[in-house]
Amino acid sequence: MALLHSNSSKVMRYWARRAVQDIRRQILEKNYSGCFNENYKNPTNAIFHIIQDIVLGYDERWSEENPSITLYHFTNYNQGPDLDLYYVPTQVFRFLAYMRQHEKYPQWMQIVKKGYKRVDWDKVKEEGDYRNKINAVYNNLLSGKSIVKFFIDPKERRVYGDWGLLSHYLREVRNMETKRLETLKRVGDELADYIKETENIKRLTQLEQASKYGTFRNILRFIIRERMRRGAEEPLFSLDEYVNDLFPDGNMTWRETQDLLLFRIYETLHQWLVEQNKEGLGLIEELSPEKIAMEE
């Protein structure tokens, strides 16, 4: 059994209305199946489904309502009664409500789809075939972890959504400051310009395949030196930008910075990369760790 609670009286009223309507339907049809049940066995997926239903079904200014939601999940697997709590903070609810009205909502649904694990999409015929599978996007939103990696497809060198959509997520859910966002965007643009002007696809491959903080940092150093040789008037970034905006937590969150820079590069160079692939020049090359770390 799962019970819903919210600090918003509107959320409570709307969801209670859904449950009551279901009971009335059972009475009219004389087909009694018990409490309102949409066959969700995964409580995390269930709570996001509930939020989507509320946002889709009722036209409210949710940004002003500022709701948070808690799902109380009661289980009993012959080991004694258990209770698990699943909490959706206000900023996550606000982001989901914003997404529903965004012109790129279909691409957001693609991001959510990428989060499902162990699903053979070629065999999926209906939602019931995957609705109870683990979804890493939902799990990360609940646990406060980044979902930036789901906004990009490194194999295809493409993005889902645009920088405006991604930056809204970063501000609303990740509480990222405007100054840091501006620095990441500018550095991503500079890297894109460098790759296109030099036609150095290998540097892009190195940025993609770097698996350690030190390696990624070293590749940026190579690019900085090459830009200086080419007469760049401004540095790629300042020391303050490196410490405060690109890698504020050093080795702890460097992966998110890598994903954000790649997102901006893919978005900026989309058409150019498509043309390179057509000519066979932009194919992804598998580089060894040694080449990634040391090749200049």
pLDDT at 138: 97
Contact 40, 107 (CB under 8 A): no
Report mean pLDDT in 10-residue bins for the chain, 296 residues: 91 92 92 87 93 86 87 78 89 91 90 94 92 96 95 94 95 96 97 95 94 94 95 93 94 94 97 83 58 52
Run of H or E residues at 141: helix 136-143
| Radius of gyration from C-alpha coordinates of the chain | 23
Could you tell me how many residues make up the chain? Answer: 296
pLDDT at 109: 93
For the chain, where are the E strands, in sequence order?
A: 2-6, 69-76, 81-88, 152-153, 158-159
Q: In this structure, what token pair is assigned to residue 170? A: 């970063």
pLDDT at 7: 93
Q: Which of 114, 111, 287 is nearest to 211 (CA)?
A: 287
- Interacting residues of 94 by C-beta distance below 8 A, sequence separation 6+: 62, 63, 66, 172
